[in-house]
Every structure is written in C-alpha cells, then in structure tokens.
Amino acid sequence: MRQPVFRPLLCLALAAWSLLTFAAEEPLQVRIGYLAYIPDTGPVLSNVIPEPRDAGLRGAELAIVDSNSTGRFLKHSYSLTSASTDSPEALLEQARAQHEQGVRLFVVNAPVDALRQLSAAMPDSLLFNAGSPDDSLRSTACLHNVLHTLPSRAMLADALAQFLTVRRWTRWLLIVGQTPDDQAYASALRRAAKRFGHTIVAEKAFTFDNDQRRSAQADMPLFTQTAEYDVVLVADERGDFGEYVPYQTWYPRPVAGTQGLTPTGWHKTVETYGAAQLQKRFEAAAGRWMNDRDFAAWMAVRSIATAVTRLRATDAMQIRELELGDNLPLDGFKGSKLSYRSWNGQLRQPIPVVQPRALVTTSPQDGFLHPGTELDSLGYDKPEVTCPF
C-alpha cells in the first residue's frame, strides 16, 4: 500500500525547520578574563634573559584560538579580555570592572597575595592560578574558588628529587638566596629531601658580599667547600647568583634547582605527544618560545573549554565541580591525561626536568608508585593537606 505523499513532505519540513532553528540560535558566549600583575623585582646580579612581559597572556590567547577552532561547530564562542597592571590595587580594580560586565571565569598571573585578594573580592567567580607556585595555597590556605594550572614548588622539588634518587645523588649542598621566594623554594627542597631520603650535608646562604660576576672563579670554589656532596641544589628564583654556580664548585658536581638541571611546568625542549605542534603554533603567534606561565594559562583556558563542551553552560561553580570530578580528563600534550586534585585544586601533570637546551627526563620517575595515580607522587598528597577545599 502506497504511503500518502504528505508524510515524507511533512518529515522534510520538520527537518528543515529544526535546521533553521539550530542555525538561528545564538552562539554560547564564553567570556574569560585574563589578569596579570608581575612585580618589578629590580636589577639582578647576573645578566639573565628576563621573563617576557607577556608571559601567560600569549598562552591564553593561543588557547582562545584553539577553543574557537572546535567551538564553532558546537555554537560556542570564546573571547578573552586581558588586563595587565603595575600594582595589586590596579589589578583588583580591573578585575572588579570585568566582574561587573558579567565575567566569572578568570586566568590569573599574579603573586600569592594578589591572588588571595582577587579570590575574596569575587567569591562567585572561578579563578585559574597560572602565576603563583606558592605551596600554602595547596596545603594550608586553600582558596575555594581557585584552581591551579601552574605546578607548585613542592611538585617541582619532588620531580627533581625523584630523578636525583634514580641517579643516587643523595647528598646535597643547598645554597639559598635572600628573597622570600628563594626561602620558599628552599623549603620545598628540604621537604623533598626528607620525603625521598636524601641528606642535606650543608646549607649555605648567599649574602652578596662581593661582585660574583668578577670573582666567581675565585670565590665560588671556597664558598662551596664543605663535606662531600653529590649535587649542589640552588634556590635562586630571581637569578641573582645561581648562574655562576655551575662549573665553579669545590667538588666537580652537577648543579640543580632554579639553575642548571631545572624542574619546570613547560620548556621549549618538550616535543613528544604532540607538544611539538603546540610549540610551533605558539612560536608562530607569539614570536618566542613558550614558557611555563604560557602553558599554565593555555591549560587554564583549555580546561574551561573542555568543561563548557561537556556542560554546554558557563556557570563558574558548575565548571568548578566538573573540573574537580573524575570524569573530565584533560589533554595537555604531556603523555598522560591530566585532572585536578579534589583536595586542593592542583592540576596533576608530569614535570619536565631540563637543562637550558635539552630535556633530561620527565617525572614522576618509574618506580615511584601511588595508590591512586603516580602523578600524585608529586606535590602535596591528600593526607598532607590541612585546609578545607
């Protein structure tokens, strides 16, 4: 029996109406704010290559491009509003201005104190920390609306200590600079030494009594003369003196920490698992190499985009809940699916350990096991975190 002609025509009409309705829908607007405040650290003793002033921003911009390239098929439109300031007060003012315009998702490249101010001022927003490695934010003073894409100092120190364990370089000479950041980095190294069974045979404070550029060859061997050590660990985040330690030590030993063999969130020499393509796209867009702040900001935007794709919504607290769950694996070109720790909001991730022009290894090292995931052998594990999150 022949079907009436009007039935297929009706089906075609309904299909066409559905397509027209979908085409007429407004794209889902995903508005992200980028906030940067990088304090002026003043002149440093060594002539090191300075941190790019746009570090972080370029990574966020590339992630917006990447997110829009796939988002357009889902009717998602990503945009970035950036603000770089010269004071924490100006940063807070810019953040409030964006907040009043309806932005609730932020990528922040700023020191720990500025991040705390932003968190308190915008409790209904979700902030991604792409600038502060402060350990207290992940252990004793968590912020409920902050997730961390930049590795903590504890993660970096643990990554380095694991490699030193594998090489059996277990006796350390620790040299510490005078800034609070140097002291914080040294604390992370002490924690890692205790955690992985290393011995700090001596600890010395660098006091800048003379011009190390002129006298490194004469003074550094005497400065590093002490009980025998396997490796020299340097805590000098600004680069005041650490560049003059390699090849000048009393014993002919490797140098690691903030100079020499360095753990970092990202580096030019990371090329496997598709990272080379990310590096090339970044260099084409920014005209320079991608660093750890750039990757952290890129990862923050991509985390947002992945959550929005799953939720089809932009509510900050819904995104937070999804990010902290077990059902949102993230791709970070590091060989493992990444995710956020539910107890402190830190992004789990492998840590490259590099020398200036080559990748040496990637931690966690083989053999360092964990009941959940080996990535949690780096940084503060759940039993170590005392702050509610």
Q: In the prediction, which pLDDT does 45 show?
A: 63
Residue 18 predicted with pLDDT over 50? no
Q: Is the pLDDT of residue 19 over 80?
A: no
At residue 28, does pLDDT exceed 60?
A: yes
- Domain 26-151+264-349 and domain 154-263, same fold? Reply is yes
Please write the tens of the pLDDT for every residue from 245-303: 999 999 999 999 999 999 999 999 999 999 999 999 999 999 999 999 999 999 999 99
Say whether pLDDT at 216 is over 80: no
Q: What is the DSSP letter of 332?
A: -
Structure tokens at 119: 């968190």
Q: What is the dihedral of CA 345, 348, 354, 356, to 10 degrees?
A: -40
* Position 2, amino acid: R
**Lowest mean per-residue pLDDT among 76-90, 152-166, 197-211, 368-382:** 197-211
How far apart, in whole angstroms, are the C-alpha atoms of residue 108 and residue 184? 20
pLDDT band at 40 (very low <50, low <70, confident <90, very high): confident
What residue ranges do the domains of the chain occupy? 26-151+264-349, 154-263
Output the average pLDDT for the chain.
92
The mean pLDDT value for 200-207 works out to 95
**pLDDT tens digits, one per residue of 116-147:** 999 999 999 999 999 999 999 999 999 999 99
Q: How confident is the model at residue 1 (pLDDT cuts 50, 70, 90)?
A: very low
Angstrom distances, CA of residue 374 to CA of 8, 164, 168, 227, 381: 57, 17, 20, 34, 11
Nearest to 109 by CA among 96, 125, 95, 124: 95
Residues belonging to the chain: 389
Region 26-151+264-349: CATH code: 3.40.50.2300
pLDDT on residue 44? 67
CATH homologous superfamily of 154-263 equals Response regulator (3.40.50.2300)
Return contacts of 44-53, CB within 8 angstroms, 24+ apart: 44/238, 44/239, 44/240, 45/208, 45/211, 45/212, 45/213, 45/240, 45/241, 46/212, 46/213, 46/239, 46/240, 46/241, 46/242, 46/243, 46/244, 48/239, 48/243, 51/291, 51/293, 52/288, 52/291, 53/84
Could you tell me which residues are beta bridge partners of residue 36? 84, 109
Q: From the centroid of its chain, how far is CA 385?
A: 19
Exposed, middle or buried: residue 178 (CB in 10 Å: 0-12, 13-18, 19+)? middle
Average the pLDDT over each of 2-11, 259-268, 299-308 and give the range with the smallest value. Answer: 2-11
CA angle 36, 61, 154 (to 5 degrees): 55
